[in-house]
Amino acid sequence: MPDTVHVASGKVREIYALDDERLLLVASDRISTFDVVLPTEIPDKGRVLTGLSAFWFARTKHIVPNHLLGLRDDARSTECRRLAMLPVECVVRGYITGSGWKDYLASGEVCGHRLPEGLRESERLPEPIFTPSTKAQTGHDENITREQAAELVGADRLVEVERVALELYRFAAAYAEARGIILADTKFELGLDEDSCLVLADEVFTPDSSRFWPADAFAPGGPQASFDKQYVRDYCESVGWDKTYPGPELPDDVVAETRAKYVEAFQRLTGVSFDDFLADPEVVLQ
C-alpha cells in the first residue's frame, strides 16, 4: 500500500491513514493470552473479528452511528472515519468477573457502583453496569469512577456515553444469549466526528473486546471457560509457562481447535457461513 501511512500498532491490529478523513484498521491473526502475544498465529482470527465487528456495526446504528465505511476484499481490513477519540475506555459488565470481581472483593464496589452482598465470581449482575477505565499506554487499564470519567470527557458527554454503552450491551447480550453465547462484559471506544457527534469506533462485540462464555457451561462460583481461548489457556497452563514474554508455540491441534471456535462464534452470531463471508465480506452488513 504505497500511499498508506502506518499510524499505530496494537497488540493484534495495525492502523494506517488512507487520507485526512479515513483510516484502515487491519486485524492480524495474532492472539494474546495472559497479556502476552503468542509466537503462533490462529489462521483467520483477524477475519473473524473484522466480520463480527462489521456485523454489529450494521445492527447497532439505530443506537449510535459508527465509524465503518467499508470492508476490503481481504476480509481483515476495515475502512473507517477518522475521529477524535474520547480518552476513556467504555466498559459494560453484565457479570462480575476479571478486575470487577477483584474490586468487588476488595470494596464491595466497582467504579462507584455498590453491588449486592454475597455475589459469587462470574454471577450475573442485577443490572448491567457502566465501569469506565483509563487508557493505559502500557499495562492494564485502570478502573475509574463516573466522576473521574466526567472530568475526562465532560459531564453531559458522559451521560450520553453511559446511555449508549448500556443500550449497546443490552442489545448485543440479548442477541448473543439467544444463540448460546454469554457476553459477560465488553469494552467500547467512542469518538467525536467533525460535528462533535458521538460515534462508535474500534471493534465491537468481538472475543478480543468482550468476554464470550459458552452459555451451556455457565456455572457461577468460579472463573468461566472462555468460548474462544480456552484451548490456548489450557495448553499454556499444561506446559507450566510463567506467563511472561515470550509465550509458548502452540501445537497444530490447539491452533485448529481454536480456529474452529472463532469460526463457530462468527457463524452462531452472524448466521452467515464463514466461507460466504470470505467470498464477499460485506454480506455481514446486509
Closer residue to ligand Q0N, CB minimum distance, 9 or 107: 9
Site for ligand Q0N (CB under 6 A): how many residues? Answer: 16
Q: Which residue is nearest to ligand Q0N (CB)?
A: 10
- Using CB under 6 A as the binding rule, the residues of this chain from 200 to 259 that contact ligand Q0N are 201-202
| Other beta carbons within 10 Å of 114 | 10
Smallest distance from ligand Q0N to CB 161, Å? 15
Shortest spacing between CB 64 and ligand Q0N, in angstroms: 13
Q: Is the dihedral of CA 144, 145, 146, 149 positive or negative?
A: negative
Please identify which residue in 51, 128, 191, 247 interacts with ligand Q0N, judged by CB under 6 A: 191
DSSP 183-250: EEEEEEEEEE-TT--EEEES--S-TTTEEEEEGGG--SSSPPPPTTTHHHHHHHHHTT--SSSSPPPP
Listed ranges 75-83, 152-160, 235-243, 251-259: which one lies at the site for ligand Q0N (CB under 6 A) = 75-83
When asked if residue 23 is in the footprint of ligand Q0N (CB under 6 A), the reply is yes
Per-residue mark of binding to ligand Q0N, 170-189 (x: CB under 6 A): -------------------x
DSSP 137: S
Query: Residue 49 has which C-alpha cell?
Result: 473479528
By the rule CB under 6 A, 67 interacts with ligand Q0N: yes
DSSP string for residues in 253-281: HHHHHHHHHHHHHHHHHH-S-HHHHHH-G
Quick check: 80 binds ligand Q0N (CB under 6 A)? Answer: yes
Please choose, out of 6-14, 121-129, 214-222, 251-259, the segment that lies near ligand Q0N by the rule CB under 6 A.
6-14
What does the block give as the cell for 253? Answer: 491441534
Closest approach, Cβ 17 to ligand Q0N, in A, equals: 9
Task: Please state the closest distance from residue 217 (CB atom) to ligand Q0N, in A.
Answer: 30
β-sheet bridge partners, residue 210: 186
Q: Is 198 in the site for ligand Q0N (CB under 6 A)?
A: no
Task: Cell 443506537: give the residue.
Answer: 63
Cell 460515534 -> residue: 199
- Of the candidate residues 13, 113, 211, 259, the single one contacting ligand Q0N (CB under 6 A): 13
Q: How far is the CB of 43 from ligand Q0N (least distance, A)?
A: 20
Give Rg (Cα) of the chain: 19
How far apart, in whole angstroms, are the C-alpha atoms of residue 94 and residue 247? 31
CB of 234 to ligand Q0N, least distance (A): 26
Q: How far is the CB of 80 from ligand Q0N (least distance, A)?
A: 5
Distance CA 77, CA 17 (A): 12
Residues near ligand Q0N, by CB under 6 A: 8, 10, 13, 15, 23, 25, 67, 80-83, 85, 189, 191, 201-202
